[in-house]
Structure 1
Amino acid sequence: MTREKSQSIASQKLQQKVKGPVAQELKEMVPNRKSHQREPRSKDAASNSPVQASVQSIITQIQNGKPNVSGSKETPEDLSFVMSSIFPKETGSVDTSNLKMKPLDYERPDVPRLSFGLERVLFNPGVYHLRDPRSRVYNFDPYLGAIMPVSEFDFDALKAYITSSKDETLAGIARAEKKKYIGSSSSMTSVLSHFHYLLSNWRGVDTRMMSQNFPDHMRSFTRLLRSPAAMFLRYQNGSYAIDADKEFDSANILMNLGKSMEKLLTLPKEDFERYRRTHENKISAEEEQAIPEAYHYSTMGDFLMRSQLDAYDPRLPGTGMFDLKTRAVVSIRMDARNFEHGLGYEIRHVQGGYESYEREYYDMIRAAFLKYSLQVRIGRMDGIFVAFHNIERIFGFQYVSLPEMDQALHGQTDTSLGDAEFRLSIGLWNKILDKVTAKFPKRSIRLHFETRDAQTPFMYIFAEPVTNDEIEYIQTKNQAEIDAYQRRILNLEPKDGNDDLDETPASPEKPAANSQPTAEQNAQPDAQAAYDSSAPPDESFLAELEAEEADLFKGKEIMAMTLVVKNLVNGSPVDRPMVFRADDKWTVEYELSELQGKQVSRLYNACQTRREKALSGRGEDEADAASNVYIRRLRDLAMKGRAYRAKQDDFDSKHGTVVLDEDV
């Protein structure tokens, strides 16, 4: 059978599965293979409904065999199922004029200021070196140059992070403000990222600020950032708390350093030293607990949002608040679990492919700016203060304002576009959660969100009711592994000679009742390939797989939906807004459709598999780190960096050091 005939039969079968108006649209769009001619549809008709564009995208992919070239692209087979399985459908629109963020005026304690004179960084664009590489003069206290090892910092003295579902103050404010959904900036950003992909039609990042000779030119977000987002919607006394899904969480040293370095950047040297385990006047847990946390609270629609405030300077625009970010160098980030191999890597240059601030900035654009900018917006902050380090030492600092991040993400420094997209994202998310909670009222729910790449991008939403026991099992399934890792890096017990980070962690002995098995348990390697491959499917294998998955999800309540949007700016349809200003009106027409059929469980499991695959990687954007040429190159540079640092330290021991603020 010829490929053309096979594609024609596939199109005919697809049309036979779809009934009603959508079937008529399909009929109109499928070309007549005999004549290769058809009447062109008017521009207005073609753009009349987002679903028409989606159907056209499906037919195009099925007939042209469009390859699945990235993990974010959807296969023609899944697209055809989606279109043949849409039943209840909700249509509507949201626009920026009806969505406003309302700050709540609640009493809060003073927010910390930067220490060591670091406030100079806030008002100087670009990188501020800890030590000028040419003159060797320290711009700040050399104490910042040597980071306190995590094994010496007393993390037990720090307050535990309070999730949205355990925050009684947040719940009380929700009752007072009559808000249905409550969340923190950290629990909301992963889902909001997928609304950015959808509303911007996978807008590429803007890297025009990079130097001409910078070797990397990728404009996509990292694999990790594009992976499906999962969350729990925990029902509590009339409201739903948003908690991040921690099923695939793992420990790494950067989790610890972020906490200790935040203290370093906001405390005087003497106060920070009190967190050292061996300090004679070590801070107690009671003293730490007495230090109040500061938050911003805001509402939009049915949402109440909480943002922890890291630092403040009254001279900054707006509220004067900003976030603190500690950014490890590329050799650490790409294999954080085995960070020892990346120790020694130095930042020695402003520009260049390696050992440069330019490399770190480029990686932040692709891997972190989207999350950072969303956190800044939720917290009504001005920007982020970044400290670049290699775990052992700090190299420099940079303040990145929200307009600067927006330039990289949205292609403009005017924050109107990013602000509008944020409000529309909250509005659409509100619609989705309303639909889910209407179907499963007064129940806790696990949700997955994933924007898939197609000619017209769309979002998958999967919702599954869960019990508190199931949530607890999922959230703590890796806790033993995390605790063991923490004990090792903090030297809380003697090292076991067989301790090897490359070993596969043991699984829990048995899952809780009705808990969701991991994708590793569900699928063999061949099955995983089927989820993410452009090769023609093995029909018999897929049939067996679907039967297995039907048994796996038997008895489970799963709600599956797709979200398709159409952007209109000042009444005109656009792929994505460009050069957007505050007086422009952005309207989003949407179709939220529920999927039904036996393949829903397969789509859900495939989504979970993609998430596990992305989150089980060692680094930010690389797979198979041990055999990766890029990783080996970074490890080689780390070795050379250690030799370079030894020479620099030897020079300092002989000639001494000079600090800018000291008398000469």
Structure 2
Amino acid sequence: MTPGHEHPSSEPDPFEFFKTPVPGSEAQESTAPQHHPKTDTPKRSPTKKTLEKYRYLDSKSFLERVVGDLQLTADDNVPKLQHGISKVVREPGVHLLKMVDSADGAVTYNFHPYIENIPLVSDVKLEAISSFVPATDDQLLQSLAKEHRKKFVVSTSSITGILSKLYLKVLKQKPVNLDLFSDEFKNMKSKFTTTVLERPVIVDVHYNDYDQYVLLSKKDVLENDSKLLSEHGHVMEALLTNSIRNLEALKRTSDETRVTDIDESRLYHFVEMENFLMRSQIDCWDSHLPRQKLDIKARALEPIRLDPDNYKAYLHHKLVNLTGTQSSFEFERFQCARSTMLKYMFQSRIGDMDGVIICYHNIEKIFGFEYLSRKQMSEYLCGSEGMMEQIFVILVKLIDRILRQLVRNSPKKSFQIGFSFAPRSNKLTIFRSPINDAKPKPKDIQIYELDIKPHLNGNPISSSVIDFGNPDEDQFSIEYALHRLEMDPLMLQDKFTSLMSRFFASRSRRVLEYCRSIYGKPETDGI
């Protein structure tokens, strides 16, 4: 359960049905109807009802205004990098936690050795660490949205998944830039990972008394297999931004009650974007950066990310090389570019942060650090920071218009919205259904299809892959249309069930098979 958002254990889980493992459940959604032996009625093929004909969007005339900006100084009680880690943001490249002399085995630490060993989550007072506050529980956020007359209220964790799905659709699954990696990566897959491409994104949209719609990602309210990595992420944020004295006080063996002087009320960045009021949590402040704000990301090694239930079986894996495809920092950065870097980029942009500092670890030990600026992440993903800015603005405008259309169809109600992307056809399907209803009636399910026509310098892009020849100068724009799909009730239920099953399936059989073919099969599952 996400810290700060507890649910009574006596409440039945309405989605328990979907949590049964489904072999290959992250596979592309099938368009073939499921067999229903109780009915002989043939299903009709879906028909499209166009809600909005093709409309033009570019990156111009974008409403963005900071609300209550953080005016921080070095004297403020806000998180700052400790243990010498600040040099990571000043000096590009990978910074090893320690160096071992190949001749005599002598160890030299580049940072304080205290932080090498990561404490067990059970040994840390998690309740003393700043916890996640859902947008639905954030009265300040909702009050600010009311004051500034904003219709949609959201935190970064609840919108970056949607932005990522729209990015895949709009950019035609544009692969990452392999030219920024060493020659060993030239023949590696440059497309996004299976999970990024195929796992749906589901968001609850809560209508409140302020006549607002508050978005809350389903992953923020449901316990799933990322809990281990999420909790370790909180611990490592504390490890990197607290003094040793405070870290000792965070241990459950300590009797100290006050473990930090950090002013948590100063840790949020609020910004208006179109009809949104967005909230971003600031992990760290550093005076060496232009915007002085950055995000901290704890990045577990690949086998632990892919098979967290069996993480103990992979604790012997370490990062021993700077470059190359084997046990290297470069390989982890390559996999990051194909998976979570897109979310890192969007989170940094919404929070007006300079970039992210990545801490590479295997749950037990930290191996090193690397700082990635927004400029670097943009170059990995789409070619330049200027092009990424154009894309970001267009995507925010697009989700704003999609939500307004869904609200217009059925106003003043809470609902659930799902985004399902099919890589083979490049189709993006949008589901709307009642909130917290695992088996809604077909009449309460709405399915939409989003069509996109991308343009570069005013000309339609007809090729299957988008290539920005001059990303610093090119002008990107789109035309979009939203269609409602009308289909047989049984087909509606089939598609909704497929969406929910693929969302709740934590890992597909293919992902586990890949992990175990590379890193070995654990002796027992679920250790």
Corresponding residue for residue 346 of structure 2: 374
TM superposition score normalised by structure 1: 0.67
Q: Residue deviations 1:35-83, cap 9 Å, x none?
A: xxxxxxxxxxxxxxxxxxxxxxxxxxxxxxxxxxx934765889xx998
Note if 1:444 corresponds to 2:414. yes
State whether residues 108 and 294 of structure 1, in contact with CA within 8 Å, keep that contact through their aligned partners in structure 2.
no
1:288/1:268 Cα in 2 relative to 1: closer, same or farther (>3 Å)?
closer
Measure, in 1, the Cα distance between the counterparts of 2:70 and 2:97.
36
Note if 1:348 corresponds to 2:320. yes
The structure that is helix-richer by fraction is 1
Note if 1:431 corresponds to 2:406. no
State whether residues 462 and 559 of structure 1, in contact with CA within 8 Å, keep that contact through their aligned partners in structure 2.
yes
Match of 1:101 among 64, 70, 80: 64
What SS does the corresponding residue of 2:450 show, helix, strand or coil? Answer: strand
Measure, in 2, the Cα distance between the counterparts of 1:83 and 1:304.
39
Corresponding residue for residue 517 of structure 2: 629
Gaps of 5+ in 1: 1-69, 471-514, 518-552, 636-664
Measure, in 1, the Cα distance between the counterparts of 2:442 and 2:301.
47
TM superposition score normalised by structure 2: 0.83
Q: Residue deviations 1:491-550, cap 9 Å, x none?
A: xxxxxxxxxxxxxxxxxxxxxxxx305xxxxxxxxxxxxxxxxxxxxxxxxxxxxxxxxx
Corresponding residue for residue 475 of structure 1: none
1:205/1:582 Cα in 2 relative to 1: closer, same or farther (>3 Å)?
closer
1:179-194 paired onto structure 2 within 5 Å:
179-194=150-165
Note if 1:595 corresponds to 2:485. yes
Corresponding residue for residue 418 of structure 1: 388
Shift of 1:382: 1.0
Note if 1:308 corresponds to 2:258. no
User: Which letter does structure 2 place at the counterpart of 1:463?
Assistant: R
Corresponding residue for residue 174 of structure 1: 145
Corresponding residue for residue 7 of structure 2: none
Shift of 1:253: 2.3
Corresponding residue for residue 147 of structure 1: 118
What SS does the corresponding residue of 1:203 show, helix, strand or coil? Answer: coil
Corresponding residue for residue 124 of structure 1: 91
Note if 1:606 corresponds to 2:495. no
Measure, in 1, the Cα distance between the counterparts of 2:451 and 2:64.
24
Shift of 1:252: 3.7
Shift of 1:123: 1.6
1:330/1:107 Cα in 2 relative to 1: closer, same or farther (>3 Å)?
closer
Measure, in 1, the Cα distance between the counterparts of 2:381 and 2:521.
29
What SS does the corresponding residue of 2:402 show, helix, strand or coil? Answer: helix
Corresponding residue for residue 59 of structure 1: none
User: Which letter does structure 1 place at the counterpart of 2:453?
Assistant: K
Shift of 1:158: 2.9
Measure, in 2, the Cα distance between the counterparts of 1:446 and 1:563.
17
State whether residues 329 and 389 of structure 1, in contact with CA within 8 Å, keep that contact through their aligned partners in structure 2.
yes
1:382/1:190 Cα in 2 relative to 1: closer, same or farther (>3 Å)?
same
1:625/1:577 Cα in 2 relative to 1: closer, same or farther (>3 Å)?
closer
Corresponding residue for residue 491 of structure 1: none
Corresponding residue for residue 273 of structure 1: 248
Runs of 4+ in structure 1 displaced over 6 angstroms?
287-290
User: Which letter does structure 2 place at the counterpart of 1:623?
Assistant: L
User: Which letter does structure 2 place at the counterpart of 1:387?
Assistant: C
State whether residues 226 and 308 of structure 2, in contact with CA within 8 Å, keep that contact through their aligned partners in structure 1.
no
Corresponding residue for residue 516 of structure 1: 438
- The number of aligned residues is 474
Q: Residue deviations 1:104-149, cap 9 Å, x none?
A: 2345674321101111111222101111233631111111212222
User: Which letter does structure 1 place at the counterpart of 2:475?
Assistant: K
The structure that is strand-richer by fraction is 2
Measure, in 2, the Cα distance between the counterparts of 1:383 and 1:82.
50
Measure, in 1, the Cα distance between the counterparts of 2:215 and 2:278.
10
Match of 1:90 among 52, 67, 72: 52
Shift of 1:361: 1.4
Shift of 1:269: 0.9
Note if 1:573 corresponds to 2:460. yes
Corresponding residue for residue 9 of structure 1: none
Measure, in 2, the Cα distance between the counterparts of 1:157 and 1:74.
46
Corresponding residue for residue 365 of structure 2: 393
Shift of 1:443: 0.4
Note the aligned Cα RMSD (angstroms).
Answer: 2.8
User: Which letter does structure 1 place at the counterpart of 2:164?
Assistant: S
What SS does the corresponding residue of 2:178 show, helix, strand or coil? Answer: coil
Shift of 1:423: 1.0
Shift of 1:616: 4.3
Note if 1:254 corresponds to 2:229. yes
Measure, in 1, the Cα distance between the counterparts of 2:424 and 2:339.
22
Note if 1:245 corresponds to 2:218. yes
Q: Residue deviations 1:206-260, cap 9 Å, x none?
A: 2233332359711121222221110011101211111011357235422221111
1:277/1:248 Cα in 2 relative to 1: closer, same or farther (>3 Å)?
closer
Measure, in 2, the Cα distance between the counterparts of 1:75 and 1:172.
43
Larger RCO (CA within 8 A; separation ≥ 6): 2
State whether residues 89 and 357 of structure 2, in contact with CA within 8 Å, keep that contact through their aligned partners in structure 1.
yes
Measure, in 1, the Cα distance between the counterparts of 2:307 and 2:94.
25
State whether residues 46 and 487 of structure 2, in contact with CA within 8 Å, keep that contact through their aligned partners in structure 1.
no
State whether residues 96 and 110 of structure 2, in contact with CA within 8 Å, keep that contact through their aligned partners in structure 1.
yes
State whether residues 268 and 282 of structure 2, in contact with CA within 8 Å, keep that contact through their aligned partners in structure 1.
yes
Measure, in 2, the Cα distance between the counterparts of 1:122 and 1:424.
30
Corresponding residue for residue 407 of structure 1: 379
User: Which letter does structure 2 place at the counterpart of 1:323?
Assistant: D
1:300/1:444 Cα in 2 relative to 1: closer, same or farther (>3 Å)?
same
- Share of identical aligned residues, percent? 27
Measure, in 2, the Cα distance between the counterparts of 1:98 and 1:395.
45
Q: Residue deviations 1:466-504, cap 9 Å, x none?
A: 3xxx3xxxxxxxxxxxxxxxxxxxxxxxxxxxxxxxxxx
Corresponding residue for residue 461 of structure 1: 430
Measure, in 1, the Cα distance between the counterparts of 2:192 and 2:434.
31
Shift of 1:415: 0.5
State whether residues 156 and 280 of structure 2, in contact with CA within 8 Å, keep that contact through their aligned partners in structure 1.
yes
